[in-house]
Chains A and B, each alone.
Chain A
Amino acid sequence: MRKLNIPFSDEDIRALKVGDPVAISGVMLTGRDAAHKWMVETFVRGTRAPQGDDLQVYEAIRPLLKGGAIYHCGPVVAGLDTGDYRFVAAGPTTSTREEPYQGDVMRHFNVKGVVGKGGMGPPTLAACSEVPGVYLHAIGGAASLIAQSVQRVLAVYKLEFGVPEAMWVIEVKDFPAVVTMDSHGGSLHAEIAARSKSALEALL
């Protein structure tokens, strides 16, 4: 088990290979469908003009994402009525839905760690080589267990997206994950897809 601290350095990232189990500590940001669409349309491609608190949120998340990690997660959060937030359940969501956005988000914000489940495709893998970055696979469904590694909720942005889609700033300690896509072009997901395709063809 390799311990990793956020922000990641390029050396940290380049040293990681597919299959490495890691324990991540530091401050990360959750972001899924609404957040990725918002980031890309408003700031990366500029097809939508910033409105409301967009620019303030942008300034707040930029330093967090620089060399940092984005976590594909829509948590169950307690304390919504008091603002004294606590993560009750916080496993990863399926990452593939962010495929149209992820590479752009990584390059724009210099995101080095993408945390999720199910893996991602060639565009994200290309961004992992360039930035450099890695895809860190958390265990899908292990939500109560993963929530234990969330020490504190530091802030929340875009709560109007709804609890699952908001961007939660969390401090994690020894967050467990496995590297399944690395910065050297390696992807466990591509490998398993190819192998299972041959197995399927043999069965059919």
Chain B
Amino acid sequence: MQDLTEQILELVRLAATDLPADVEAGLRRAVEDEQPGSAARNALETILKNVEMARQESTPICQDTGTPIFYVYYPLGWSTRKLKEQIRQAVARATALSYLRPNSVNALTGKNTGNNLGDEHFPSIHFEEVEGDTLAVELMLKGGGCENVGAQYSLPNSDLGAGRDLAGVRRVVLDAVYKAQGKGCAPGILGVAIGGDRGSSYYGSKEALYRQLDDTNPDPELAALEGTLTAEANQLGIGPMGFGGQTTLLGTKIQGLHRLPASYFVSVSYMCWAFRRRRMAVRAGQVSYA
């Protein structure tokens, strides 16, 4: 089996230092919507300057390099045990090279391991066997500030007048955006899962974030809701950094998960503007990045 430690290290470096094109394009559009000289516009201009600098200098876009979340899609023949070892080694090396901040601390003592290697869940690695001959590794670096403003609702929710339907979903998601204010580093991107159990629902909300910002949900009802939620969240006027302004969200991504008849969860993962996610593909020994 091919050793991919070096290639995964490059995936981590790219994720930490080089903002994906779709996110940068969203930020560039957002600048144009803000009044010249406003705090919101200044914030976005600073953000874009920082994005360019991080790319040029190969330094982290944000100092909170977050939880490294890996999704590995492997064809038959790869050893997940070896891949996991290589991912962990790459993460430790990326930390030594200052692409990542040492972010893994003991839950009880708070002691930092110093190399981003914690227990089985840090870094977070998911494996799934797939058809075909391409190995794909998706990586997201999700910071703590935005993770802390994520929310999960159990519908119905009478306080918010939210029933068990898409109208109810709309109400609770807008509530989550309002409660987040600027604390998750707006403008944000929402990953939303409808359904599942409490655990799978939160995972689903993160999986939704691996989609491209400018793609269209294949489900027309969800596609419409994604557009509505982004537009309505932007009417809240929270704006970049919570300074007030036109752009509170750059986008919304929703997926449904089968659920129990008794449960109707809506889980919201808030991703900050520093939406660091990268993909690596390996086919016939050739490695490519997106």
User: What CA separation (Å) do A19 and B239 show in the bound complex?
Assistant: 15
B242 touches A165 (CB 8 A): no
Task: Tell me how far the C-beta of A111 lies from the nearest C-beta in chain B, rounded to whole angstroms.
Answer: 22
A142 touches B235 (CB 8 A): no
A90 touches B244 (CB 8 A): no
- Chain B residue at minimal CB-CB distance from A180: B243
The answer to whether B190 has its CB under 8 Å from any CB of chain A is no
Task: Tell me how far the C-beta of A131 lies from the nearest C-beta in chain B, rounded to whole angstroms.
Answer: 24
A93 CB contacts on chain B under 8 angstroms: 64, 144-145
A143 CB contacts on chain B under 8 angstroms: 50, 54, 59-64
A192 touches B182 (CB 8 A): yes
User: What CA separation (Å) do A90 and B61 show in the bound complex?
Assistant: 10
Residue of A139, A197, A199 near B241 (CB, 8 A) is A139
Beyond A78-B98, A196-B181, is A147–B59 a contact (Cβ under 8 Å)? yes
Residue of A77, A161, A165, A188 near B243 (CB, 8 A) is A188
A139 touches B47 (CB 8 A): yes
Task: Tell me how far the C-beta of A157 lies from the nearest C-beta in chain B, rounded to whole angstroms.
Answer: 15
Task: Tell me how far the C-beta of A127 lies from the nearest C-beta in chain B, rounded to whole angstroms.
Answer: 20
Task: Tell me how far the C-beta of A115 lies from the nearest C-beta in chain B, rounded to whole angstroms.
Answer: 14
A204 touches B161 (CB 8 A): yes
Residue of B57, B242, B274 near A189 (CB, 8 A) is B242
- Chain A residue at minimal CB-CB distance from B276: A141
A132 CB contacts on chain B under 8 angstroms: none
Task: Tell me how far the C-beta of A87 lies from the nearest C-beta in chain B, rounded to whole angstroms.
Answer: 9
For chain A, residues 125 to 148, give those with C-beta under 8 angstroms from any C-beta of chain B: 137, 139-148
Task: Tell me how far the C-beta of B271 lies from the nearest C-beta in chain A, rounded to whole angstroms.
Answer: 11
User: What CA separation (Å) do A162 and B272 show in the bound complex?
Assistant: 24
B105 touches A162 (CB 8 A): yes
A164 touches B103 (CB 8 A): yes
Q: Which of B61, B64, B236: most chain A CB closer than 10 A?
A: B64
- Chain A residue at minimal CB-CB distance from B175: A200
A144 touches B54 (CB 8 A): yes
A39 CB contacts on chain B under 8 angstroms: none
Task: Tell me how far the C-beta of B193 lies from the nearest C-beta in chain A, rounded to whole angstroms.
Answer: 21
Task: Tell me how far the C-beta of A94 lies from the nearest C-beta in chain B, rounded to whole angstroms.
Answer: 4
Residue of A77, A88, A192 near B237 (CB, 8 A) is A192
User: What CA separation (Å) do A83 and B98 show in the bound complex?
Assistant: 14
A189 touches B236 (CB 8 A): no
Residue of A88, A137, A145, A196 near B238 (CB, 8 A) is A196
User: What CA separation (Å) do A34 and B109 show in the bound complex?
Assistant: 11
For chain B, residues 1 to 60, give those with C-beta under 8 angstroms from any C-beta of chain A: 39, 42-43, 46-47, 49-50, 53-54, 57, 59-60
Residues of B within 8 A of A (CB): 39, 42-43, 46-47, 49-50, 53-54, 57, 59-65, 98, 100-103, 105, 110-112, 114, 144-145, 148, 160-161, 171, 174-175, 178, 181-183, 185, 232, 235-239, 241-244, 272-274
| 9 A-B residue pairs with CB within 8 Å | A94-B145, A140-B185, A147-B63, A162-B114, A178-B39, A188-B39, A192-B238, A196-B181, A203-B232
